Structure 1
Amino acid sequence: MAVDRITQVRLSSVRLPLSTPVSDAKVFTGRQKPMTEVAFLFAEIEAESGHRGLGFGYSKRAGGPGQYAHAREVAPELIGDDPNDIGRLWDKLVWAGASVGRSGLATQAIAALDIALWDLKATRAGLPLAKLLGAHRDSVRCYNTSGGFLHTPLAQVLDNATAARERGIGGIKIKVGHPDSTVDLRRVSAVRERLGDGFPLMVDANQQWDRPTARRLGRALEAFDLTWIEEPLDAYDHAGHAALAAALDTPIATGEMLASVAEHAELIRAGGADIIQPDAPRIGGITQFLKLAALAEHHRLQLAPHFAMEIHLHLAAAYPLEPWLEHFDWLEPLFNERLELADGRMLVPDRPGLGLTLSDQAAAWTVDSCVVTG
């Protein structure tokens, strides 16, 4: 087999504005301000064979410029290397910046490069990424989150839920964690009534309950036949999540805020989740996600990756146990392609790689970029 070589890496820092400031429980507790934009780091890798790969990471609120700066420092390590050797290249990149750690911002910057390498490899093979990884299915159950934030009036949440269902979404998640718990219960009750019995409904407290509140509200929420309660406690309270999972019939889902495979391993060891929710850009890319997926499958955990459906669709399709995929329409303006929905599921595209190309709008929202050639 001929050896290929990486000739160029293009990095772009892109700011995606949100049409309406977004609030979840972290805003209502005063820990964060409403979110007005999402910062993206795009990596485009080109090899001498002419094949190209596209990857991205992101940051909500602070961190975007830091990810871009770190990626710019370590990207030269890729030039001249064979893009097929993804595991070795991940190690090379992480050791290039090891003094600032092997998790968090440093590996989130590497994630964009890692994902681009996987996209390039699948494109070179002429296969959708899911097929390259070994797909178990050609579509994935899909639930919507973007229509159910706490800042959204209840009437609009209900209309959003109806519209999502009619569009082909298979589940609805709404935010909870309002300072007045009666508001949460009223909203959940109304959405359940609108959707009817049996339609998948999830709630997400975004880490803002303490243990007594989570137990009390968890018991109250049992009446609504929820698919899961997400992040009821602080992301690192593994013991608290484990106790809650043991006490409630409703499954507990968490993991999106953990920043490495090692952190997820601690959560799994503690029995803190019925459903694990890793985020490939947050834990270092696809290379790390695959390690975590193998561990999760070994423990027979359900999988529901967080955000970035454009990446996670392929990874969920390759997970042995039937997973869920989170639908956000926020990222659609960044790409020329659209993902398709049918009968509550998102279809894996038949285009090679991730099947994505950057749009003119992504170029218009670019605030900084560079090209690394050696």
Structure 2
Amino acid sequence: MIVSARFGHYAVPLSAPVSDAKVATGRQRPLSHIDVLTCEVTTDDGLAGLGFSYTTRAGCRAQFAHAKEVASGLLGQDPSDIGRIYDKLLWAGASVGRSGVATQALAAIDVALWDLKARRAGLPLAKLLGAYRDSVRTYNTSGGYLQAPIEEVKERATRSLQDGIGGIKIKVGQPDTKEDLRRLTAVREHLGDDVPVMVDANQQWDRTTALRFGRAVEELGLVWIEEPLDAHDAEGHARLAAALDTPIATGEMLTSVAEHVRLIEARAADFVQPDVPRVGGITPYLKVAALADHAGLQVAPHFVMEIHVHLAAAYPRESWVEHIEWLSPLFDERLTIQDGRMLVPDRPGLGLSLAEHAKDWRLDEFESADG
């Protein structure tokens, strides 16, 4: 039985601000930190599970407030009844909908319950779900942002490969696509033809620009072109996917199963990119993954590698997990990378614990408990 749920709001700083196409086109400011909502669920037998959600730039205070309002619904519940608890908390906040802030707050709780369930079983989460592999292919994103000069991007790409990472993703989507092509060509020439390379436009192109760019880079052998269009333009992404040999990847900004259904049914992506915290937790993520597998698609989850390494290992089709180390300082443990792959931790649950120094980044906390 659940006897307490403790929540925290943390602002985890980046080593240096980063900029993608949303910054280059004036839509957002550079990213300097990640806001994280944590949830620690404890049972009457003394076991605990740890989960988290996150936001960039804005929204975590709203997640924190929503979690605070619905948290009492956890108390007295059997933590194994994850579906029942999710439904109960969803209905507790039904007036604010079934996506966005409401379900992203529930994501921290849902992840904590899955972590707890795997810990009680003495298994890594991937093993509890049913793993197909003990490691997953991984690519690095954090070295390829637009604020970095191209020589720095090349240097960091080399360093990532030396550290055992298997692929490199760089950001594109600037106002001048010629500059995107120049940077991308320089990276491809630097790395050679055998290194897997992806690009990410962060939704900054219209359909014509995306098609012209896609045709211009066909010979570079990219693994995928990510978010060339607005995240909700399923029809446009479907047209690109049909017109180009280079695969299309998208889905990270979608915040519900229903939005992913539209994406999948439209055949709008070769790589579907759900994000556990954004889609509302592991429970809805598994629904998206099942639909993608039924459609014969790859799943390459976005960000939060600490969660996604387990889910990618439990997906039938071999795909990729994004290596971004921004949340690593929040935890005591580190993921192991070797030979282009990220190893699934052998510790029970997610295999994570909050670092003692994390309290220095905590902005707020509260606990809901019996008595």
TM-score for the superposition, normalised by structure 1 = 0.98
Residue 325 of structure 2: SS of its match in structure 1? Answer: coil
Which of 324, 335, 342 does residue 339 from structure 1 map onto?
Answer: 335
Matched, 1:203 2:194: no
Q: Distance in 2 between matches of 1:278 and 1:297?
A: 13
Which of 317, 323, 336 does residue 319 from structure 2 map onto?
Answer: 323
> CA shift at 1:228, angstroms?
0.2
> CA shift at 1:361, angstroms?
2.5
Identity %, equivalent residues: 65
Equivalence map 1:83-162=2 (5 Å): 83-162=79-158
Structure 1: 5+ residue runs without aligned partners? Answer: none
Q: Distance in 2 between matches of 1:223 and 1:189?
A: 10
Matched, 1:193 2:185: no
Matched, 1:292 2:292: no
> Residue 79 of structure 1 aligns with which residue?
75
> Residue 4 of structure 2 aligns with which residue?
8
Q: Distance in 2 between matches of 1:369 and 1:77?
A: 18
Equivalence map 1:1-374=2 (5 Å): 5-374=1-370
Structure 2: 5+ residue runs without aligned partners? Answer: none
> CA shift at 1:125, angstroms?
0.3
Q: Partner letter of residue 288 of structure 2? A: L
Q: Deviations over 1:282-337 (max 9, x none)?
A: 11100111111110000010110000000000000000000110000111110000
Q: Partner letter of residue 5 of structure 2? A: V
Q: Partner letter of residue 304 of structure 2? A: A
Residue 305 of structure 1: SS of its match in structure 2? Answer: coil
> CA shift at 1:33, angstroms?
1.0
TM-score for the superposition, normalised by structure 2 = 0.99
Q: Distance in 1 between matches of 2:186 and 2:24?
A: 21
Residue 351 of structure 2: SS of its match in structure 1? Answer: coil
Q: Partner letter of residue 316 of structure 2? A: P
> CA shift at 1:264, angstroms?
0.3
Q: Distance in 1 between matches of 2:82 and 2:202?
A: 33
TM superposition outliers: structure 1 runs of 4+ over 4 Å:
none
Q: Distance in 2 between matches of 1:328 and 1:81?
A: 35
Q: Distance in 2 between matches of 1:224 and 1:90?
A: 44
Residue 17 of structure 1: SS of its match in structure 2? Answer: strand
Residue 331 of structure 1: SS of its match in structure 2? Answer: helix
Please say which of residues 163-172 and 18-27 is displaced more in the overlay: 18-27
Q: Distance in 1 between matches of 2:267 and 2:337?
A: 33
Q: Distance in 1 between matches of 2:149 and 2:352?
A: 34
Computed over aligned residues only, the root mean square deviation of the Cα atoms, in angstroms, reads 0.7
How many aligned positions are there?
370
